[in-house]
A and B are shown apart, each in its own frame.
Chain A
């Protein structure tokens, strides 16, 4: 690649690259200050927590890229958490079918959102707010009280390490390399960016607008379902918690923004969101090794989010027609 090309790549990916540098610095500091040194179990714990949020952030990225949002992402995670606590048990075959069932649940939830937004033409923010409550309702019916069980062996294998590498991290890497990268280079994947960039222009150019949006919400449901499965394997139980669902959703939106994806759509990607999720998760660990009270964590999370949004708002300073500030 020549120098002009390199310059363009750097400029177009400035925010995700910045997120990567910040995460590397934070995680490096965390490892350096780690009292017990770098051990596999430390990495595994950090990875499991980080990958869980990273998957939800990845799910959130797809609708956001189209200029929409999925407020039900957290509720789908909780729903699939409850599903998994019932289904993922028994013989090897039963476990495999259970996993398929859990992912199918996430997919079905995504299809429901897609129908509401694309076919029903409802505003994404209010449609997914409503479906979020519905998904939570289904979770309650599935699991009225906390509990449930998953196959111990399966759980510890997927949340453990393989030759010193956390398995959850391998799972995330596989999602990025085998699902996201090819998808981004498909016509539908480009459609998602085109729709988020300028929906009317996309239509005028002959882009298939509805299928692109549909794919975004279905993809979000599927990835949230995967996150729900991982949550069950980490916690080895399930709870239909509205608070947890809301918390996960809000954190996923924060991670998406920190990773450089524009809430107006058209700009960004899943890789940035994954880095954003890692940053958010590292704050707590860093406070722990710095021996600061965990009470500081929300304050720092908010501060980092505010900084990230400010970076994205920098172009506003260039606006010279004051009316455009309000558009």
Chain B
């Protein structure tokens, strides 16, 4: 659009902000292996990449939340280091964060004026602050928001607009929007697009992180693609096709780490668990999916598109659920996990956060393993330790958990902890196993063991529903894959149709857009 205007005299002046070969490590984990970026005044720069590509780390470095381990950052050509977000803010770099940085118990006006409110005699002038907030809200086209309202009482999309107003109040030179439109309504997105065009014309540099291709198409002058913590390529918008961009975002080899997939039976087995048009609040908008014994069904898509809520809904954790859940073809309703765990469904959920939801860290390995099935080890009101012990030892052998049974589970490595979290449920011999990102933060060897175990379970007649953010697992392990987008299943892939291209396209809603455009 105005990429020509942006590159006009850029050669003469140093860029507003430049990062070269920036690295960020957290202990042994490298979050960003190679970060490079150039932000020019009066230009919108889009950063793209899948989950875990290093975008968030890049943003955190630029906005002063974390300091880079290596590499140099230059502001107007001079090297800088930001000590805190406040430090970055003072130098004109302000970020609108994806996870909102608003203070829920304070009013909208308080939030917008948080660090530098208008003051009289040294004290905050609340009336002037309300007027100021009104002005900034009007600036972004949100005069409907009462500045005296508490942020907690606003819906998410309004909060996101307040967050943008709050960032603008600092009159930044570089404005960063990190997925700042993810919860906005279509009207608000349109307002933001108009606003960003105006700010660009006024000479602001804008860094725009988004998964939504159609917004990038409307806004970006320059695009940078990140994959696996590395900067892949930077190019002027419009010089690469969307297919090329998707290929850049993949940029890695598929390893030979998955067990062979059995051939699909010609006649599919009857589903053991079936969801019909599930709805919940604004997170699930009519999800229908079934899973049969012997099948591994993957749930994919970007973070937070409803996959997690879908599993929680099946397991009876959500109240006010719409739609229907059927077990063996008969409608069922679970009022809580204990009902979902009972006959006839015998569901088991391996939760996302093994630290808080999956395991009781201070308790021993043995106690954790038997925790989900305590009733079956009881004789009268007392636990039968001999019985319990035998079952626990059996599962430890089967899963090759490297652990001393009577030590706290917190002493184990992440991989072994996850095995305990899974083993605990295998003792209950579930008919349906729900897993929420079971291999996050786990070493490759343990990953392979978990893949083999899941395949064995499926071969033994268990139905497996696996939510994962790792596309390799969807491709290598799953018989069918449901890609979530905005609380719906955007696409259901099967067999050879499960390719990285198809998954990314569906996750970013690209194919659908193209069809709509055609």
Contacts and interface: CB of A to CB of B under 8 A. Distances in A.
A203 B312 CA distance: 32
Contact of A194 (B103, B280, B320): B103
B105 A206 contact: no
B319 interface: yes
A206 B84 CA distance: 8
Given A206-B114, A207-B115, A198 B103 contact: yes
Contacts of B105: 193, 196-197, 266-267
B343 interface: no
B65 interface: yes
A206 B87 CA distance: 8
A226 B85 CA distance: 38
Contacts of B117: 187, 190
Given A198-B103, A206-B89, A322 B123 contact: no
A187 B124 contact: yes
Contacts of B336: 322
What does DSSP make chain A's interface, helix, strand, loop or mixed? Answer: helix
Given A186-B123, A206-B114, A321-B312, A193 B106 contact: yes
A35 interface: no
A201 to B, nearest CB: 5
Interface in A192-215: 193-194, 196-198, 200-208
A4 B115 CA distance: 27
Contacts of B166: 205
B187 interface: no
B106 A194 contact: yes
A193 B124 CA distance: 14
A30 to B, nearest CB: 34
B126 A185 contact: yes
A190 B124 contact: yes
A12 interface: yes
Contacts of B135: none
A204 B97 contact: yes
A152 to B, nearest CB: 40
Nearest to A327: B356
B277 interface: no
Nearest to B115: A206
Interface in A133-166: none
Given A5-B148, A186-B122, A187-B124, A205 B103 contact: yes
Contacts of B429: none
A266 B111 CA distance: 13
B317 A323 contact: yes
Residue of A4, A5, A186, A206 with highest tally of chain B CB at under 10 A: A206
Contacts of A203: 84-85
Contact of A197 (B84, B106, B309, B317): B106
Given A205-B101, A322-B319, A182 B123 contact: yes
B197 interface: no
A39 interface: no
A8 B103 contact: no
A241 B109 CA distance: 47
B281 interface: yes
Interface in B316-332: 316-320
* Residue among A5, A198, A208 facing the most chain B CB atoms (10 A cut-off): A198
A201 B123 contact: no
Nearest to B321: A320
Contacts of A187: 115, 117, 124
Contacts of B354: none
Nearest to A4: B146
B100 A201 contact: yes
A185 B104 contact: no
Contacts of A200: 101
A185 B125 CA distance: 8
A8 B148 contact: yes
Interface in B121-160: 122-124, 126, 146, 148-150
B110 interface: yes
Nearest to B111: A205
Contacts of A190: 106, 110, 114, 117, 124
Contacts of B317: 321-323
B164 to A, nearest CB: 14
A267 B97 CA distance: 24
Nearest to A208: B86
B22 interface: no
B84 A266 contact: no
Contacts of A322: 316-319, 336
Given A198-B103, A322-B317, A205 B114 contact: yes
B85 A205 contact: yes
A317 to B, nearest CB: 11
Contacts of B89: 206
Contact of A320 (B84, B101, B115, B320): B320
Contacts of A320: 280-281, 318-320
B106 A185 contact: no
A261 to B, nearest CB: 11
B357 interface: yes
A318 B14 CA distance: 54
Nearest to A204: B101
A266 B101 CA distance: 15
Contacts of A196: 105
B58 interface: no
Interface string B361-393: 000000000000000000000000000000000
A36 to B, nearest CB: 45
A201 B124 contact: no
Contacts of A186: 122-124
A318 B117 CA distance: 34
A298 to B, nearest CB: 33
Interface in A291-320: 320
A274 B4 CA distance: 65
A215 to B, nearest CB: 15
Contacts of A208: 86
B204 interface: no
Q: Which 9 A-B pairs have the closest CB atoms?
A: A206-B86, A266-B105, A204-B101, A197-B105, A197-B103, A185-B123, A206-B115, A201-B101, A185-B124
Interface of A: 4-5, 8, 12, 182, 185-187, 190, 193-194, 196-198, 200-208, 266-267, 320-323
27 contacts: A186-B124, A190-B110, A193-B105, A193-B106, A194-B106, A194-B114, A197-B105, A198-B102, A202-B103, A204-B65, A205-B101, A205-B102, A206-B85, A206-B89, A206-B114, A206-B115, A207-B115, A266-B103, A320-B280, A320-B319, A321-B309, A321-B312, A322-B316, A322-B317, A322-B319, A323-B312, A323-B357
Given A204-B85, A321-B319, A323-B357, 9 more contacts: A187-B117, A197-B105, A198-B102, A198-B104, A205-B103, A205-B111, A320-B280, A320-B318, A322-B336
Interface of B: 65, 84-86, 89, 97, 100-106, 110-111, 114-115, 117, 122-124, 126, 146, 148-150, 166, 280-281, 309, 312, 316-320, 336, 357
